[in-house]
């Protein structure tokens, strides 16, 4: 039986300023998945994640973490989740090792079961074990935030924009860690990112929110398949030809010698496109299609009006 790592229903948040950041979100995150939460700036991603983390109080709705209701089982639901926040909020007076020990204490992890050094090694901070946090670079602070999220071995790890503004090396280290935690420990991963290619590459399933409302939730492949605009690229075998003409197909020559045929997959079948090519007496040497990418899906779903 598959169960949900996170289940939200009717989740709302209105800040004191009157800003409605979440307008009734229903969302289920399958256990064991790498789940992407996407949306433009101000969509409500951090608000949602901070509610999961217990850092922001929801206005109404239901939050279940690993089957535990956040209101009736606050301790268990908190123990099931580790959050790497977007803000670099570290106490400057603690060393990485000290910060992990304090965090472990907060979560009631007994000294005998703490793995501070193992976690520091995993995020590549062993040689900064006893340095003051204020002497760490931005990248090192981020790694320490990831380490802090892991001290109580949560079932669900949440990362809020972990790679925004970090260099390629750190990004790769983060994703390697995340993949390994998912693969080897079955940890459920929820991440928000601005990098759509990253979500496309990393995530099994994606939810898109915009203006505090969920606009899509599906497997990454279904989301990518949902756009109707397709392009078939034909490499002609050679010789003279005129461009195929048919209703619903717009053909053009590309500079590389191929013919691009744009069509709407809902109205025109691939077969009809091929038939139009054949009736123009074009011999096909090669054929491929261009898929919409997540960027197209995202723009399509979040465009206003």
Q: Which residues bind ligand ADP (CB under 6 A)?
A: 15, 17, 19, 21, 39, 41-47
All residues at 6 or more sequence positions from 31 whose CB lies less than 8 Å from its CB, including other chains? 2, 3, 4, 5, 66, 155, 186, 188
177 binds Mg ion (CB under 5 A): no
CB of 130 vs ligand ADP, minimal distance in Å: 34
DSSP assigned state of 282: P
210 binds Mg ion (CB under 5 A): no
CA distance 200 to 223: 10
Strand order in the sheet with 20-30: 20-30, 4-14, 60-65, 68-69
CA distance 239 to 258: 13
CB of 189 vs ligand ADP, minimal distance in Å: 18
Contact partner at residue 177 from ligand ADP, Mg ion, none, CB < 5 to 8 Å by partner kind: none
Q: Is 160 helix (H, G, I), strand (E, B) or coil?
A: strand
CB of 207 vs ligand ADP, minimal distance in Å: 12
For ligand ADP, the closer CB: 103 or 210: 210
Which 41-70 residues touch Mg ion, going by CB under 5 A?
45-46
For ligand ADP, the closer CB: 21 or 292: 21
What x-and-dash track marks residues 84-123 binding Mg ion by CB under 5 A? Answer: --x-------------------------------------
Contact partner at residue 242 from Mg ion, ligand ADP, none, CB < 5 to 8 Å by partner kind: none
Paired with 246 in beta bridges are 249
Size of the site for Mg ion (CB under 5 A): 3
Closest CA to 230 of 286, 193, 270: 270
Contact partner at residue 21 from Mg ion, ligand ADP, none, CB < 5 to 8 Å by partner kind: ligand ADP
Strand order in the sheet with 229-236: 249-253, 259-264, 229-236, 284-290
For ligand ADP, the closer CB: 23 or 129: 23
Pairing of the two strands 205-210 and 188-192: unpaired
Angle between helix 138-150 and 168-185 (nearest 10):
10
- DSSP states of 215-262: EEEEEHHHHHHT--EEEEEEEE-SS------BTTEEEEE-TTS-EEEE
Contact partner at residue 258 from ligand ADP, Mg ion, none, CB < 5 to 8 Å by partner kind: none
CB of 207 vs Mg ion, minimal distance in Å: 14
CB contact at 8 A, 277 and 284:
yes
CB of 164 vs Mg ion, minimal distance in Å: 9
CB of 258 vs ligand ADP, minimal distance in Å: 40
Contact partner at residue 5 from ligand ADP, Mg ion, none, CB < 5 to 8 Å by partner kind: none
- Contact positions vs Mg ion (CB under 5 A): 45-46, 86
């Amino acid at each position: 039986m598959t169960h949900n790592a996170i289940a939200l229903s009717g989740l709302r948040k209105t800040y004191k300023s009157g800003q409605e950041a979440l307008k009734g979100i229903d969302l289920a995150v399958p256990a064991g998945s790498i789940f992407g939460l996407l949306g433009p700036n101000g969509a409500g991603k951090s608000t949602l994640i901070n509610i999961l983390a217990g850092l922001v109080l929801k206005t109404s709705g239901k939050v279940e973490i690993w089957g535990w209701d956040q209101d009736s089982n606050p301790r268990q639901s908190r123990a099931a989740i580790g959050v790497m926040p977007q803000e670099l909020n570290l106490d400057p007076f603690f060393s990485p090792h000290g910060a992990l020990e304090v965090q472990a204490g907060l979560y009631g992890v007994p000294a005998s079961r703490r793995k501070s050094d193992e976690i520091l090694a995993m995020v590549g901070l062993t040689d900064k074990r006893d340095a003051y946090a204020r002497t760490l670079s931005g990248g090192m602070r981020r790694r320490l935030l990831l380490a802090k999220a892991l001290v109580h071995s949560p079932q669900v790890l949440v990362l809020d924009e972990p790679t925004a503004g970090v260099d390629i090396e750190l990004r790769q280290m983060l994703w390697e860690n995340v993949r390994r935690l998912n693969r080897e420990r079955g940890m459920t991963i929820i991440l928000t990112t601005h990098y759509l290619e990253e979500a496309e590459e990393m995530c099994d399933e994606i939810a898109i929110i915009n203006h505090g409302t969920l606009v899509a939730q599906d497997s990454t492949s279904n989301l990518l398949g949902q756009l109707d605009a397709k392009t078939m690229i034909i490499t002609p075998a050679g010789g003279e030809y005129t461009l195929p003409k048919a209703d619903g197909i717009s053909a053009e020559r590309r500079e590389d010698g191929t013919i691009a045929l744009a069509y709407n997959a809902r109205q025109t079948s691939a077969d009809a496109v091929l038939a139009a090519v054949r009736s123009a007496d074009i011999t096909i040497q090669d054929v491929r299609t261009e898929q919409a990418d997540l960027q197209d899906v995202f723009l399509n779903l979040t465009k206003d009006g």
